[in-house]
Amino acid sequence: MSNEARQHRFAPAKGACDILLIRHGETQAAVRGESFPMVDGQGDPALRPEGEAQARAVAERLKQHAIDAIYVTTMQRTHQTAAPLAAALGITPRVEPDLREVFLGEWDGGEFRFRAAENDPAIVRAREKECWGELPGAETFTQLQTRVVRGLRRIAAAHPDQLVAVVVHGGVVGAALSYATGSRNFGFNGADNGSISRVVIHGTQMTLRGFNDVAHL
Question: Of 40, 85, 32, 79, which Cα lies nearest the Cα of 63?
Answer: 85
Residue 1 lies in a domain: no
**pLDDT at res. 193:** 98
* Contact call for residues 85 and 113 (beta carbons, < 8 A): no
- Are β-strands 163-168 and 42-43 bridged in parallel, bridged antiparallel, or unpaired? unpaired
Residue 81 lies in a domain: yes
User: Does pTM top 0.85 for this prediction?
Assistant: yes
Helices (H), the chain: 49-62, 76-89, 111-117, 121-129, 141-158, 170-181
Residue range of the domain that includes 150: 18-213
- CATH code at 33? 3.40.50.1240
**pLDDT at res. 105:** 97
Question: Of 203, 191, 208, which Cα lies nearest the Cα of 22?
Answer: 191
Residue 12 lies in a domain: no
**pLDDT at res. 76:** 98
Quick one: how far is CA 204 from the chain centroid?
Answer: 19
**pLDDT at res. 146:** 98
Q: Which positions ≥6 away from 100 have C-beta within 8 Å?
A: 40, 42, 73, 74, 75, 169, 172
* Contact call for residues 167 and 82 (beta carbons, < 8 A): yes
Residue 3 lies in a domain: no
Domain count, the chain: 1
Q: Which positions ≥6 away from 67 have C-beta within 8 Å?
A: 20, 85, 89, 91, 163, 164, 165
Residue 6 lies in a domain: no
Q: How far is CA 146 from CA 102, 118, 142, 192, in A?
A: 11, 30, 6, 23
* Contact call for residues 176 and 148 (beta carbons, < 8 A): yes
Residue 204 lies in a domain: yes
Residues of the chain with pLDDT under 70: none
**pLDDT at res. 197:** 98
Residue 13 lies in a domain: no
Residue 5 lies in a domain: no
What b/e string do you get for 117-142 counting C-beta neighbours within 10 Å, with b at 16 or more?
Answer: eeebebbeebeeeebbbbbeebbbbe
Rounded Cα distance, 30 and 19, in Å: 31
